[in-house]
Amino acid sequence: MPSPSAVEVLLPVGLDRALTYAVPAGLDAAPAPGTFVLAPLGARVEVGVVWDGAPADVDPAKLKPLRARLDIAPMAGPMRRFLDRVAAYTLAPRGQVLRMALRGLTLGEEPRKPKVGVRATGSHPARMTPARERALAVAADGRARPKRELAELAGVSAGVVDGLVKEGALAEAELPPPPPLPSPDPFRSGPALSPAQAEAANMLAALAAGERFGVALLDGVTGSGKTEVYLEAVAAALKAGRQALVMAPEIALTAAFIDRFADRFGARPAVWHASVGEKARAAVRRGVASGEVRAVVAARSGLFLPFRELGIIVVDEEHDPAYKQEDGVLYNARDMAVLRGRYENAPVVLASATPSLESRVNAERGRYARLILPDRFGGRSLPAISAVDLRTAGPAKGAWLSPRLVAAMTETLEAGDQTLLFLNRRGYAPLTLCRACGHRLQCPNCSAWLVEHRFRARLVCHHCGHTQATPEACPSCGTAGQLVACGPGVERIRDEARALFPQARVSLLSSDLAGGGEALLAELDAIERGEADIIVGTQMVTKGHNFPKLTLVGVVDADFALGGADPRASERTFQMLEQVAGRAGRGERPGRALLQTHEPDHPVVKALISGDREGFYRLETNQRRAAAMPPFGRLAALIVSAPEREAAEAHARALARAAPRSNGVRVLGPAEAPLAVLRGRHRMRLLAQAPREIDLPAYLRAWLAAAPGPRGGVRVAVDVDPQSFV
């Protein structure tokens, strides 16, 4: 019999197993699974969670005792099982997954320091002045206020208030605690919905009211009003007394989205993403656990918040590759949202104008309900998309905007409308070359070219962040003045737009904007108000924005993502271009999009131009099925890296030899990764491809167990269902 005075504790460290601890007398005989505790680990003390399962059968006298039990709401059973499952699926150590679920955790409630203000005492100062009179008149209601507020209300200086305190006419007094944040009110009425919207909204609302798991794919063209529709499902969950989680790719969490939520429910949602500060995070986490916070809009990590009674998860722009976390635990938040919904008995809504093939196929198989909004809201039409053939109608040498695109921009400007120029490349130029010797400027740590950022006068590696000043002379042959920028980045397109249209207000939107996230949000708001004529942007402009005056979208290079090792290349290109084109014509006037391409006959380009979305998906589905690629087969990548190429290669080969023979699993590679060196580490890739019915994570575990352990600086990263193939 295992001793009742020992428990299993999972710690937020890189360990897969829970550790066994003794429960000291005075703690509580056997803390239940989910209890937060302090546990010694080596020389440290960690916050851990009592986990399920019988403790190892060890003499408790030999075990380290727990230090304390924490006064934090226990982690619920469904959440623990969810974390176990995420770890099992991704092959990440369970402790590492737990760490994601502890973000924003503070030890117990922070004692609120009472804030001090001032209040009238009733006595009069010896000398009265007009300013003092004004201040005392405001204070006459007897309420305690911060000094600054009193000074502002009375229109006096801080010195006047201090003087009155000194003379005893005002006294310091504790301020009442701030009122709790207002909760969203699901009973407010939303906008009148079109018949198609209403039908979809009713189905979603029924799903949310049912308090059962189920997945619905909300598949509606750009500008069809998906947001209004899924907010009805949020309302239904809130009405049922449950909490709501709306997930969006980071940059879509703009003030505009939050304002829309606030318009609908009369209160702002809690917000959770990378730029939210520690204190605010702690408050959201606490509120979500206590039930005080009813609705959260979040980036992918919001999935790991300890909701007390989660009643719906919405994954907006569900196709977005940003849902895949590419470091640490390699998980796809869209897929894990479905898992979390299952454990919480909560419905999950996946929304997109360009659903992932995975979700479409799941809908076709009948596992997901599919709700379709075929038209834009308010009788608006989808943008007319056409191609500019760069082989015959391209721009002059040294320019990137074709005459047709420039003519369209001129018309748009004359009409007082906005143009969006899209190019998914940050910086000024992707390559700098020496005209004298042909040398290309490369990152010292990666097998990648350095990207010129002319505004900052620096060369930057987009893979590792290395930067250096742009040199005058070639570092290889020493010739000065012969370095040339090759190819365009958004900065270069901005320069060209400025030169062509000197009167136009040109705005650049890119993740490396000076001023960071804040500046970017301010810029987005300014554009929405019409304070720019031409917007030049990277893929962040493709997501969810509503710029009413935007009527022309120019895609500078529609071919950039086609080809390469990524089995989803076509799908991704289609999604990105359809989304960016979908920014046009959302206001009063119709929109159009011009795609500059060398391959006007490519199926992706043709589908976009003809508007044959269904045809594209059918073709893509058939190709994936024929190649047994996801979602018709399973994929996992092993990325082996080491400081020396030989070590990486040797280990990758040893891994390949150790691969268990199995029913249908094919192991491909090792092959040098397309990005052969990253941060000074040489990289080799292996790919395992399996039929759908195979438990690929289990196969991978068996494989890694059979393989020699990595030694001498070799690392192996496992990526189940990889989204990135670099």
Burial (CB count <10 Å: 0-12, 13-18, 19+), residue 193: middle
Task: Detail the residues annotated as belonging to a binding site for Zn(2+).
Answer: 434, 437, 443, 446, 461, 464, 474, 477
- By a kind-dependent CB cut-off of 5 to 8 A, residue 461 interacts, out of Zn ion, ligand ATP, none, with Zn ion
SS (H, E, C) 257-287: HHHHHHHHHCCCCEEECCCCCHHHHHHHHHH
User: Of Zn ion, ligand ATP, none, which one does residue 245 interact with (CB within 5 to 8 Å by kind)?
Assistant: none
When the beta carbons of 42 and 379 are compared against ligand ATP, the nearer one is 379
Backbone angles phi, psi at 37, to 5 degrees: -135, 165
| Distance, CA of 113 to CA of 115 (rounded, Å) | 6
Strand arrangement of the beta sheet that strand 295-298 belongs to = 270-272, 295-298, 243-247, 310-316, 347-352, 214-220, 369-373
> Is 307 or 616 the residue whose CB approaches ligand ATP more closely?
616
Q: How far is the CB of 1 from ligand ATP (least distance, A)?
A: 58
Place of tokens 């906005």: 418
The two beta strands, 19-22 and 681-691, are unpaired
| Least distance to ligand ATP, CB of residue 416, Å | 19
Q: How near is the Cβ of 529 to ligand ATP at its closest, in Å?
A: 14
CB of 579 to ligand ATP, least distance (A): 7
Q: How far is the CB of 260 from ligand ATP (least distance, A)?
A: 7
582 or 600, CB closer to ligand ATP?
A: 582
Burial of 657 (0-12, 13-18, 19+ CB in 10 A): exposed
C-alpha 603/C-alpha 218 separation (Å) is: 25
Contacts of 247 (CB under 8 A, 6+ apart): 297, 298, 299, 300, 302, 303, 313, 314, 315, 316, 323, 333, 337
Cβ 597 to Zn ion, closest distance in Å?
30
Residue 463 site contact among Zn ion, ligand ATP, none (CB < 5 to 8 Å, cut-off depends on kind)? Zn ion
Q: Residue 220 Cβ, how far from ligand ATP at the closest point, in Å? A: 5
Q: Which of 17, 239, 456, 463 binds Zn ion (CB under 5 A)?
A: 463
Contact 515, 553 (CB under 8 A): no
Least CB distance from residue 546 to ligand ATP, whole Å? Answer: 5
Task: Please give the C-alpha separations between residue 26 and each of 5, 30, 33, 228, in angstroms, as whole numbers.
Answer: 11, 11, 18, 54
- Minimum distance from residue 673 beta carbon to Zn ion (Å): 14
Which residues, 6 or more positions from 501, have their beta carbon under 8 angstroms from its beta carbon? 409, 410, 413, 533, 534
Bridge partner list, 678: 681
Got the DSSP string for 33-51? TT-EEEEEETTEEEEEEE-
Stretch that binds Zn ion, among 198-206, 463-471, 513-521, 618-626 (CB under 5 A): 463-471
Q: Which stretch binds Zn ion (CB under 5 A): 26-34, 222-230, 231-239, 462-470?
A: 462-470
Encoded amino acid at 610, one letter: S
Find the binding residues for ligand ATP in span 116-155 (CB under 6 A): none
In the list Zn ion, ligand ATP, none, the entry touching 443 (Cβ below 5 to 8 angstroms by class) is Zn ion
Q: Which of residues 188-227 bind ligand ATP (CB under 6 A)?
A: 191-194, 197, 220, 222-227
Closest to 286 in 3D by CA, of 540, 544, 109, 526: 109
Say if residues 275 and 281 touch (Cβ distance below 8 Å).
no
What does 214 bind: Zn ion, ligand ATP, none (CB cut-off 5 to 8 Å by kind)? none
Least gap, CB of 246 to ligand ATP (angstroms): 12
According to CB under 6 A, which one of 21, 377, 574, 617 is a site residue for ligand ATP? 377
Site map (CB under 5 A) of Zn ion, residues 413-452, x = contact? ------------------------------x-xx------
Residues sharing a CB contact under 8 Å with residue 649, sequence separation 6 or more, in sequence order: 670, 682, 684
Choices 51-59, 170-178, 464-472, 601-609; region in contact with Zn ion by CB under 5 A: 464-472
Q: According to CB under 6 A, which one of 8, 46, 228, 491 is a site residue for ligand ATP?
A: 228
CB of 516 to Zn ion, least distance (A): 21
Q: Which residue has the tokens 């959201």?
A: 284
Grouping H, G, I as helix, E, B as strand and the rest as coil, residue 647 is helix
One character per residue 323-362, x = contact with ligand ATP (rule: CB under 6 A): ------------------------------x---------
**Is residue 458 a contact point for Zn ion (CB under 5 A)?**
no
- Smaller CB separation from ligand ATP, 417 or 719: 417
- Binding to ligand ATP in span 544-563, by CB under 6 A: 544, 546
Q: Which of ligand ATP, Zn ion, none interacts with 226 (beta carbon under 5 to 8 A by kind)?
A: ligand ATP
* 464 touches Zn ion by CB under 5 A: yes
Angle (CA) 152-156-162 rounded to 5° is 100
From Zn ion, ligand ATP, none, which one binds at residue 507 (CB under 5 to 8 Å depending on kind)? none
> Quick one: 222 or 641, whose CB is closer to Zn ion?
641
Task: Using CB atoms within 10 Å of the CB of residue 291, give its burial: 0 to 12 exposed, 13 to 18 middle, 19+ buried.
Answer: middle
Q: Is 105 helix (H, G, I), strand (E, B) or coil?
A: coil
| Count of residues interacting with Zn ion (CB under 5 A) | 7
Q: Angle 351-355-356 (CA atoms, 0-180°, nearest 5)?
A: 125
Residue 78: phi and psi, rounded to 5, are -60, -35
Dihedral angle, C-alpha 193, 194, 196, 202, nearest 10 °:
20
Q: Is 314 in the site for ligand ATP (CB under 6 A)?
A: no
| Least distance between Zn ion and beta carbon 430 (Å) | 14
Pick one of ligand ATP, Zn ion, none as the site partner of residue 220 (Cβ within 5 to 8 A by kind). ligand ATP
Tokens of 205: 């609302």
Question: In this chain, which of 466, 589, 606, 653 binds Zn ion, going by CB under 5 A?
Answer: 466
Q: How far apart are CA 559 and CA 356, in angstroms?
A: 20
Catalog residues that contact Zn ion under the rule CB under 5 A.
443, 445-446, 461, 463-464, 466
Catalog residues that contact ligand ATP under the rule CB under 6 A.
191-194, 197, 220, 222-228, 353, 377, 544, 546, 582, 586
